[in-house]
């Protein structure tokens, strides 16, 4: 009996600048019967309304059809790819495992143990229970090498480094002579701690790209690369330290904080103990500094032995009261709401000698966007601006905080995704028969589609317009 593939995207962008929570489902059908059901990623997109964090999650109603999930494949540990993962547990087959690389497993265990041990809920309400989080930990199956695996009988899977963060991978499944590829988040350029994504072996070149990474597909204005942006970041830190001034670098905790700290140490800026990593970023930087959690030769150790890891409030207050300059690297990457970086901004924003820097994409509705907008207004008017934040204190009570913006504001591009040009070139190099354009805002997906429209790719599908795709094998 002829077989078909049915590809589902369960998370979809809801606005022109939104990127969907990544969640792909691969059903292998013989006639009307689903022979295999696989899920690749199950994320939660973080949004912000009136200073409050909210989650957009995939629509899991598909699984109410009663067909259990045979396996889950997780590309990496970023929230937009794993933030709803425990919500899948009620739909898993009894022996279904959740497959991920060794570094991803280490990060995931750390995240959920913190969440399970917290006295009160962390961040926005979660789309799962604590028991489901525990069940997720029980189901983890680690992948400890690049290459071909038979994760379950009769279905070979090629697991390949993706270059995005430590442990990030792509999956290519061989189904009746067809190769179906899920990229996860992809990065071709090298970063500290992780080398760029190598080329897939020719024998695993995909016929079908079922999940892609179009994050920067609309980013036509950006021409700078990671290296030049990091050099610019380091030079601003160097000048500030020489002048006895302070720098706060907002960064995502998993990978980017450690990568920046590694570079500042390599360039000699951490010799006098003036570089600090705070919050969850300190945990992850320390976790991936050595080789314990590496899974392939693309993972590289981070050199951060001269960087100070901040562990408690008393240490923070001692740093604030110390003379001279210092660099604080702290999450969240978008400046809040939430995260230890919100504690530091009270010290930095009103200080005319300080520098506050963002290191990647800053979404609308975030505290970082409020700061950037106020900085732009200050530049246009020449007047000091005040920024009003909605914060939650340590007892869970909401409060309004107003801070004068007097510090210098910088914005760097230190992302772990391919830029627009490399994204399009990757599709043209692979040249699949079918390409599902996903994991990008609506304008990014539209732009990538327009660029590829005249190519030899026979079928282009935008996931924001078509969430289900049928393919005859």
According to the model, what pLDDT value does residue 51 have? 56
**pLDDT tens column, 91-108:** 999 999 999 999 999 999
Q: What is the mean pLDDT of residues 334-354?
A: 94
Q: For residue 51, is it left (φ>0), alpha (ψ between -120 and 50) or beta?
A: left
Percent of the chain having pLDDT more than 70? 95
User: Does domain 226-411 sit in CATH 3.40.50.10890?
Assistant: yes
According to the model, what pLDDT value does residue 144 have? 92
Q: What distance in Å separates the CA atoms of residue 135 and residue 86, rounded to the nearest whole number?
A: 7
Structure-model confidence comparison of residues 456 and 398, the more confident one: 456
**pLDDT tens column, 265-276:** 999 999 888 999
According to the model, what pLDDT value does residue 470 have? 96
Q: What is the mean pLDDT of residues 136-149?
A: 96
According to the model, what pLDDT value does residue 421 have? 92
According to the model, what pLDDT value does residue 397 have? 74
Contact 327/237 with Cβ under 8 angstroms? yes
Longest Cα separation, the chain:
76
Structure-model confidence comparison of residues 401 and 2, the more confident one: 401
**pLDDT tens column, 290-308:** 888 899 999 999 999 999 9
User: What mean pLDDT, rounded, does the chain reach?
Assistant: 92
Q: What is the mean pLDDT of residues 451-459?
A: 95
According to the model, what pLDDT value does residue 178 have? 95
pTM beyond 0.85: the answer is yes
If pLDDT is split at 50, 70 and 90, which confidence band does 15 have? low
Q: Is the per-residue pLDDT at 216 higher than 80?
A: yes
If pLDDT is split at 50, 70 and 90, which confidence band does 394 have? low
According to the model, what pLDDT value does residue 365 have? 80
3-state secondary structure of 374: helix
Q: What is the mean pLDDT of residues 400-405?
A: 94
Q: What distance in Å separates the CA atoms of residue 330 and residue 325, rounded to the nearest whole number?
A: 16
- Residue 195: CB atoms within 10 Å: 18
Q: Are strands 398-405 and 169-175 parallel, antiparallel or unpaired?
A: unpaired
Q: Is the per-residue pLDDT at 122 higher than 80?
A: no
Percent of the chain having pLDDT more than 90? 78
Q: Which CATH number fits domain 3-219+416-472: 3.40.50.620, 1.20.1740.10, 3.10.50.40, 3.60.15.10?
A: 3.60.15.10
According to the model, what pLDDT value does residue 53 have? 64
Q: What is the mean pLDDT of residues 382-399?
A: 83
If pLDDT is split at 50, 70 and 90, which confidence band does 117 have? confident
Using the structure block, give the residue that is written with the tokens 């570089």: 275
Q: What is the mean pLDDT of residues 162-181?
A: 96
**pLDDT tens column, 49-60:** 655 667 789 999
Using the structure block, give the residue that is written with the tokens 């697991």: 159
Contact 464/201 with Cβ under 8 angstroms? no
Structure-model confidence comparison of residues 77 and 337, the more confident one: 77
Q: Is the per-residue pLDDT at 153 higher than 60?
A: yes
Q: What is the mean pLDDT of residues 385-414?
A: 88
If pLDDT is split at 50, 70 and 90, which confidence band does 184 have? very high
Instruction: Indicate the domain borders of the chain.
Output: 3-219+416-472, 226-411
Strand order in the sheet with 69-73: 140-143, 92-101, 69-73, 33-40, 24-30, 3-9, 468-472
Which candidate, 47, 26, 13, 33, places its Cα nearest to that of 367?
47
């Amino acid at each position: 009996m002829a077989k078909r593939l049915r590809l589902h995207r369960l998370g979809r962008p809801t606005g022109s600048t939104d990127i969907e929570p990544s969640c792909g489902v691969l059903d292998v059908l013989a006639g009307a019967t689903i022979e295999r059901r696989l899920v690749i990623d199950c994320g939660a997109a973080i949004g912000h309304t009136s200073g409050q964090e909210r989650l957009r999650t995939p629509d899991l109603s598909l699984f109410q059809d009663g067909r259990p999930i045979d396996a889950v494949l997780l590309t990496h540990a970023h929230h937009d790819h794993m933030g709803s993962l425990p919500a899948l547990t009620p739909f898993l087959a009894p022996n279904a495992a959740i497959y991920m690389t060794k570094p991803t497993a280490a990060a995931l265990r750390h995240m959920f143990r913190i969440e399970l041990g917290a006295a009160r809920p962390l961040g926005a309400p979660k789309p799962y229970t604590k028991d489901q989080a525990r069940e997720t930990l029980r189901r983890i199956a680690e992948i400890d090498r690049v290459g071909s695996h038979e994760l379950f009988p009769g279905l070979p899977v090629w697991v390949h480094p993706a270059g995005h963060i430590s442990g990030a991978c792509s999956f290519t499944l061989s189904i009746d002579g067809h190769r179906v590829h899920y990229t996860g988040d992809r990065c071709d350029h090298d970063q500290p701690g992780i080398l760029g994504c190598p080329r897939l072996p020719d024998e695993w070149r995909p016929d079908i790209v079922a999940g892609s990474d179009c994050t920067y597909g609309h980013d036509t204005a950006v021409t700078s690369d990671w290296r030049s942006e990091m050099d610019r970041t380091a030079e601003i830190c160097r000048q500030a330290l020489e002048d006895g001034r302070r720098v706060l670098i907002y960064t995502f905790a998993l990978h980017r904080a450690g990568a920046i700290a590694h570079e500042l140490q390599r360039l000699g800026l951490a010799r006098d103990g003036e570089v600090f990593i705070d919050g969850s970023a300190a945990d992850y930087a320390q976790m991936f500094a050595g080789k314990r959690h590496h899974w392939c030769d693309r993972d590289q150790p981070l050199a951060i032995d001269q960087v100070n890891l901040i562990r408690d409030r008393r240490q923070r207050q001692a740093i604030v009261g110390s003379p001279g300059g210092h660099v604080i690297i702290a999450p969240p990457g978008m400046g809040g709401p939430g995260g230890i970086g919100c504690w530091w901004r009270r010290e930095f924003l009103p200080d005319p000698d300080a520098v506050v820097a963002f290191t990647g994409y800053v979404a609308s509705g975030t505290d970082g966007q409020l700061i950037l907008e106020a900085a732009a207004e200050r530049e246009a008017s020449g007047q000091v601006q005040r920024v009003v934040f909605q914060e939650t204190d340590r007892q869970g009570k909401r409060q309004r905080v107003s801070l004068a913006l007097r510090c210098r504001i910088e914005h760097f591009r230190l992302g772990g995704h391919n830029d627009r040009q490399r994204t399009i070139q990757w599709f043209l190099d692979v040249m699949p028969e079918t390409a599902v354009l996903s994991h990008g805002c609506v304008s990014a997906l539209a732009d990538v589609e327009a660029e590829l429209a005249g190519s030899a790719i026979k079928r282009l599908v935008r996931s924001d317009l078509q969430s289900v795709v049928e393919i005859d094998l």
